[in-house]
Every structure is written in C-alpha cells, then in structure tokens.
Structure 1
Amino acid sequence: MAWFDESRLDDATALGAADLRLRTLAESGARVRREAGGAAEATALGVAGSQDARPRAVIAAGPDSRLLRAVLEPSCPVPFVAWPGPALPGWAGSLDLVVVLAPNGSDSGTASAVAEANRRGCQVVVACPPASMVAEHAAGRYSSILPTVTDDQLATAVVMLSFLDQLGLGPEADPDRVADALDDVAEACSPHRDLSINPAKMLAIALADATPIVWGGSVLAARAARRIAESIRRTSGRTALAGDAEHLLPVIEAAKAHSVFDDPFADGSGDLRPVLVVLADETDADAGDQAGGDPVVREHRGRLLAAAAERGVRVETVSTDATTDVARYASLLLTGTYAAEYLRLGLVDD
C-alpha cells in the first residue's frame, strides 16, 4: 500500500532522484524560446508569402490538432476545423490553409494527411523537425515548414500559433510572453523552494489522500484540466477526473457528507474523498471579483463550489497572472504537471 511522505518534497536526496523530470519541466520556457528562434526566419517567409489572400478555411490536421482547436475556435475569423485523423475533409482544396503540428515528425498518419493536402493544392504549413518523414511529405509548391528540434508539443504549438497570429488568423501568441509565463511557474514551483511557499508542492499534498477532480471553465483551461488529470494518473496510478461541470457534479454530490468530527480511520475502507481542483483564468473569475467574464462559466463554477461546500469537499484553486490566452494555458498546465511530479515523489510503498 502506498502512502504519502511530504518530507520527501524538501529532501535533497529524493529531489535528486527526480532531477531529470523536474529539470525537463523547468526548461519549458527555454524550449519555447529555442523553437521560436529557430523557426523565426521560416515564419517570416511564410507570413510574407501568405499575405495576398485570406484562406477560405483553416484545417488543423493530425493528432495534435486539438490544442490548436482550443486556441483558435473562439477567435479565428474564418471557419476552423480540427481533423485529427490521417486524412482531410472531402471539401478541402486550394482555397484552404492546412496547418499541422508534428513534434517528432514520425507519425505516418500525419505524413499521409500532409501528402494529401499537397496533392489537393492546399496551402500547407507544418511545424516539424526538418529531417523527418512528415517534412519529406510536406515538400511542395504551396507548403512551408517551420523547423522544430525539441519534440515538445507546447513549444511546437507556440511556433504555429505565432505564425497564425501574424496572419491575423488567431489570438496573440507572442512566444516570449509564453516563455516568461513558463519561467515564472518554474521559479515558483522549483524543487529548491520550500513546500510552505511552493504552490505545486502544496497542491501535491492536497491530492495525496484524495481523488482529484480537475475543472477549467474556459476552453483552454478545460484542455489544461484534461492534460493535468492525465499527468496525475500517469505519475500516481490513481484515478483523476477532468470534464465539464455537469459531468463532475454527480461525483461531488455522491461524496459522503463530511464532518470535522469524523474518524478517517473508522471504517478502514481506504476510499479516497474527492478534491475539486479549479483552474482559474481571467475568463472564469468569481462574479464578485470581476465584472466581466463568461456568465455561463461563472454559473458552472458556482454550482461546483456550492456542491463542494455542501458535501465538505476540499477545493484547491490554481491561478495564473499571465496576460494572453496561450500563456495562461501554458502556466496552468505547467503548475499542474509540477504538482503531479511532486505527487509521484511523495508516494512511497509501505
């Protein structure tokens, strides 16, 4: 049976054993800068060659298209379609722009979609390693390759989003601002920072004896919630849920009403109570804290918090001061991923 030893979160020996994983997280901002710098020339050439006419539609192809959809759907001025399969919609043609993320460049399905886009005469922009199978299939008269080297999905996405931002097809995606937000998280969540002032370590402690239920109100916060839940499942082997409010409410409402006088060891069942983790960005702030924001998101958050209060379910909030959509997503995701790694570090076998 595993139990959580919070002293390991500040223990130099234990932290040293997890140094590689934690260092990889700390270098997230550096990878964004590296990818953006390496692709700057190709981005400028692609933007210059695409300024003549706005595409009829933007199609994000390949399995990594869902992140682009989360960012672009609310703001893209032309129809946007995410197509994660190894093909393209039947109507895609020369008037459309096909964008593809291929961080490792070796996915055969993605290569097939790129080749089909070239065959149909689509405008094609691919972010991938320049010496890869996807890059080979991307070669064409109307195609551009944004070269990447780090195999980092987020950094690769930022390169593409910066390109689309400069074309006026997406929201602001300044790589420097995203990298700065990631650096801020890496500093706040550093393994060398005491757990009493380390938000990721404190979140890991809150999750140690609970079943995490992760919720984000905005489209990007919801995607970050799903990614964080995946990280928690991978690092701990425990159940972690993420979803819309209507999917999570029944789980909270099914929790046994909690009393401060309850003996947690009385029944010996070992069942873990849920804990609600709210990913808060400026779009889902409490109505009392901010006049703006989406009223539907505020209503969903209010229902979740009310249900948690009624059942005695603990609530943890992860927030960010980042100022752009992509930077907020990156900040929330990295904080949650740090917490998942600290949860892995603290769990030990009995």
Structure 2
Amino acid sequence: MTWFDESRLDDEQALAIADLRLRALAESGSRVRRELGAARDAVAEAVARREGAGRPRAVVAAGPDSRLLRVVLEPTCPVPFVAWPSPGLPGWVGSLDLVVVLAPQGADPGAASAVAEAGRRGAQVVVASPAASLVGEHASGRDTTLLPAETTDPLALAVVMLTFLDQVQLGPATDAEAVAAALDEVAVACSPYRDLAVNPAKSLAIALADTSPVVWGGSALAARAARRVAEELRRAMGRSAIAGDAEHLLPVLEAARVRDVFADPFDASAGSGQRGAGEARPGLLVLDDGDDAPLLVEQRRRLVEVADARGVRVEIVSSEGEAEMARYASLLLQGRYVAEYLRVGLVED
C-alpha cells in the first residue's frame, strides 16, 4: 500500500535522497544564463547571416521539441510558421526558408536528418544542440549555424533560440534575464530548506497527494505548462494525472460523486466518492498566468464551479510578470517542484 507521509517533506534524510533532483530544479535559472552566455557569439553570427536577406518565406521548427516554439511564435511570427516534430522536413522547404531545430539531447536521429536535409535544400539552418552529438555533427555547412548547448535543458535552449528569433524580427521580444529571474524566485520560494508552513510547493504536494490531478491552463503557454506538469505528476505518483482543454476536463469533474461529509476519511472505499474502492478522487489544479481574456475567465469559472459543486479540491498556481516566457517558466518549475515533493512523501508499506 502506498501512502503519503508529509513529515518527510521536512525530514533532512528524506530530502537528501532527492538532493540531486532538487538541486537540478534550483539551478534552472542559472542554466538559462549559462546557455545564453555560451551561445552569444553564435547567435550574433546567425543574426549577421540574416542581415540583408529580408524575411524568409516561412519559418519551420523541426524536431520533437518544436512544439514550445510553435506556442510562442504562431501568434506573432510575421511569416508562415510550421512546427514539424516528425523526422525530415515538409516537401516544400527550400532556399527561401529558415529552419530552426531544438535538440537538447542531440541524439535524435529525426532531428539530425532534418538538419542534414535542410542543408541539402539550401535553407538557412539554426540548430541549438550540443556540438559533440549526432545532431551537432550534422550542423555544418555554409548556411548552418550551431548554437552550442552546454546543458540538456529544453527550456534554456528554447530561450536561446527565441532570443535569436527576436533579434531577426521573427518572434516576440524575449528577455532571457527575466526568465532566469522568474526561475530563481521559484527556486527560493520552493526550496527544500523552507518548511511546510511557508513553502507553496510542499503545501500543494500535500493537497494533491490523495487525488488524481486534473490540470488546466487557460492561455496557450499555460496549457503547454499544464501538459508538462501533468506528465511530471504521473511519473511521481504512479497515478492518473491529465491535462487538457476545459471541455475535455469538465466531464471528469462532473463524473465525480458528491463527497459524503459523513464518510470515514480513513476508509478509502467509503471516502473516495468514486466508482471502485480506493480510487482517488480528482483534484483540480489551475495554472494561472494572468491571462484575463473573457473566454478563459469563463472557462475557469465553469471548471471551479463544477469542482466546488462536486466537492472536488481546487488548487491554484499563479505566476506574475510581464514576459510570457517568464510566466510559463515559473508555472512549469512550480509544478516540477510539486512533483518532486510528491515523490519524496509517497512511501510504501
């Protein structure tokens, strides 16, 4: 039987077991700064290659990590933008196009083939990847620029690529230091050295420990963060955790039986309120990045209203700041801290 021991969240020995993972989370902001510093000259070279060339016909983001770039660029890119996570490239890509590739691990054969194919077709190519890797080895050619990666952090490399696209007027303004500062703020607030009373990530881990999390983010970037956080929660809890649009999550909340206030809280079969003994009830986790678009406000109101009516716990993670990427990074890191504290607190008899 697996159960959650919240005392472990302030236990030095239990936290020491997770020290490497917690340390990696705390270093998120420094990785952004490190990657930007390592790639500064290469970014300047890539920008210089675009000078005088005018706008490309289209921007193609290739590789499995292209989806984050799509979320950021689709609303603002002044030319057609295509995210292509599959191997290779679309058949129409040629010398008039710009191909960008994120390959944090550098070992993906599909990304390597996209880089090589783009070079053969004469497209300008900008690749963020470790130099000593499969992808990095293919990033050679007259019109190819390698932004050398020193870590395997997808977010840090995405910030570097967005910095380049900002400088060539193909993407929104990107303040890498604002992203790093937002990550640092989360690392301080959620540090393992801060106890339960003042640590939002530990408190949220306790709140979600006996639930099957249902994660919702309203804006495009918050929805992306919700999917990533749900993945982290599934790995940590070994239990269902889903993310999606409001219309997909509402049926899950509506299917929860109304909680019986007289049920024995220590009897899983009586207190779960779900079909089947011991089944965890859903818990609604809202990722709020401050987007107050009327449609998103209405969707959030409906989700919370249904959750309250069914006796489903509602938790809200918020992020402040002017920069979209900084808010996204903050939400994502808070969720990753919560997942790590869930992993620390869950024990088996």
Same fold (TM over 0.5): yes
Contact kept in structure 1, 2:130 and 2:150, CA below 8 Å = yes
Give the corresponding residue for 1:187. Answer: 188
TM normalised by structure 1 equals 0.95
Gap runs ≥5 in structure 2? 271-276
Q: What are the residue-to-residue correspondences of 1:91-170 with 2, within 5 Å?
A: 91-170=92-171
Confirm whether residue 280 of structure 1 aligns to residue 288 of structure 2.
yes
Cα distance, 1:323 vs. partner? 2.2
- Rounded to whole Å, the distance in 2 between the matches of 1:56 and 1:102 is 23
- Rounded to whole Å, the distance in 1 between the matches of 2:288 and 2:33 is 25
Amino acid corresponding to residue 229 of structure 2 in structure 1? I
Give the corresponding residue for 2:13. Answer: 13
- Rounded to whole Å, the distance in 2 between the matches of 1:173 and 1:260 is 49
- 1:113-147 residue CA offsets vs partner (Å, 9 max, x unmatched): 11111111111100011222212212111111111
Cα distance, 1:261 vs. partner? 3.0
- Rounded to whole Å, the distance in 1 between the matches of 2:183 and 2:321 is 9
- Rounded to whole Å, the distance in 2 between the matches of 1:295 and 1:125 is 38
- Rounded to whole Å, the distance in 1 between the matches of 2:339 and 2:322 is 25
Amino acid corresponding to residue 345 of structure 1 in structure 2? V
Q: What are the residue-to-residue correspondences of 1:1-350 with 2, within 5 Å?
A: 1-52=1-52, 53-264=54-265, 265=267, 267-268=269-270, 269-283=277-291, 293-350=292-349
Amino acid corresponding to residue 146 of structure 1 in structure 2? L
- Rounded to whole Å, the distance in 2 between the matches of 1:49 and 1:239 is 47
- Rounded to whole Å, the distance in 2 between the matches of 1:278 and 1:75 is 26
Cα distance, 1:263 vs. partner? 2.7
Cα distance, 1:156 vs. partner? 0.9
- Rounded to whole Å, the distance in 1 between the matches of 2:17 and 2:67 is 34
Give the corresponding residue for 1:287. Answer: none
Q: Secondary structure at the match of 1:274?
A: strand
Amino acid corresponding to residue 333 of structure 2 in structure 1? L
Contact kept in structure 2, 1:322 and 1:331, CA below 8 Å = no
Cα distance, 1:267 vs. partner? 3.4
Contact kept in structure 2, 1:42 and 1:146, CA below 8 Å = yes
TM normalised by structure 2 equals 0.95
Contact kept in structure 1, 2:128 and 2:149, CA below 8 Å = yes
Contact kept in structure 1, 2:287 and 2:318, CA below 8 Å = yes
- Rounded to whole Å, the distance in 2 between the matches of 1:343 and 1:266 is 19
- Rounded to whole Å, the distance in 2 between the matches of 1:127 and 1:342 is 31
Q: Secondary structure at the match of 1:39?
A: helix
Q: Secondary structure at the match of 1:99?
A: strand
- Rounded to whole Å, the distance in 1 between the matches of 2:18 and 2:141 is 44
Contact kept in structure 2, 1:31 and 1:152, CA below 8 Å = yes
Cα distance, 1:259 vs. partner? 4.1
Q: Secondary structure at the match of 2:47?
A: helix
Cα distance, 1:56 vs. partner? 1.1
Q: Which moved more, 1:197-206 or 1:294-303?
A: 294-303
Amino acid corresponding to residue 267 of structure 1 in structure 2? S
Q: Secondary structure at the match of 1:323?
A: coil
Cα distance, 1:236 vs. partner? 1.6
